[in-house]
Amino acid sequence: MRLMPPLAAVVLASGLAACVNHPPLVERASYVDKVDVSVRPTVNSTTLAEVVRQRMRGQAGRFGRTGAPKDIQVAVTNLHYKDPALSLLIGDANHIAAHVSVRDAQSGKSHGEFDVTAMDNAAINGVIGAAMAATQDKAEVDRALANGLARNVLERVYGTDVSKQVFAQPYAEPVETAPAAAPAAVPAAPKAAPAKPKEPKTAMVEAPGAR
């Protein structure tokens, strides 16, 4: 029997998972109150945890802020950047994997745990794919994978049917702006020199007998 390359197996598994209609883990009248993200030491990115946290909160905001608060913990277990050699030979893709747990923020009750993945740039391989892998911006890849991971996590949390309705609505990514610079200090006006006291005028008195 011919063995399937590991990556091809991952792509096939992801395709099958995309066809699954996930039931919701939480009640619809709920919102994501807190997101904690951790990464394993083997994950080769120093900024990924914060990027995933920002994307999770941004995408979760699309579901509203009413109802029961929920806490989500995301542990990133794997991060793979598209490899030029694999892209040329058998095909490769950027992908990320995480283990997620969902709890009620007030009672601490667990709503469940699950594993989730996301992929980016899986379609283009060969010479063009190898060139793309060699020149890709890893920071941009992190943002794309984090966004895909956030959407997949929320689909499992709220269920496929609700998520499809929410994600079908127009959405603008929040613009990250740098902190405003403090206004430049206005130099103080130079102090005027103190006025020189005027000398008192004295009347010239003619001495007696001077005439």
* pLDDT tens-digit readout, 3-18: 333 443 344 344 434 5
Tell me what percent of the chain is helix, strand and coil, each rounded to the nearest 5. 35, 20, 45
Tell me the C-alpha distance between 133 and 183, whole Å. Answer: 43
- Tell me the average pLDDT across 154-173: 92
Give every strand in the sheet of 94-104, ordered side by side.
30-39, 68-80, 94-104, 110-120
- Tell me the average pLDDT across 129-136: 78
Coil vs helix vs strand at 79: strand
Is 70 exceeded by the pLDDT of residue 171? yes
pTM above 0.95, yes or no: no
pLDDT (0 to 100) of residue 106 = 95
Q: Are 94 and 145 in contact (CB under 8 A)?
A: yes
Tell me the C-alpha distance between 72 and 31, whole Å. Answer: 10
| Greater model confidence, 186 or 23 | 23
- Tell me the average pLDDT across 98-115: 97
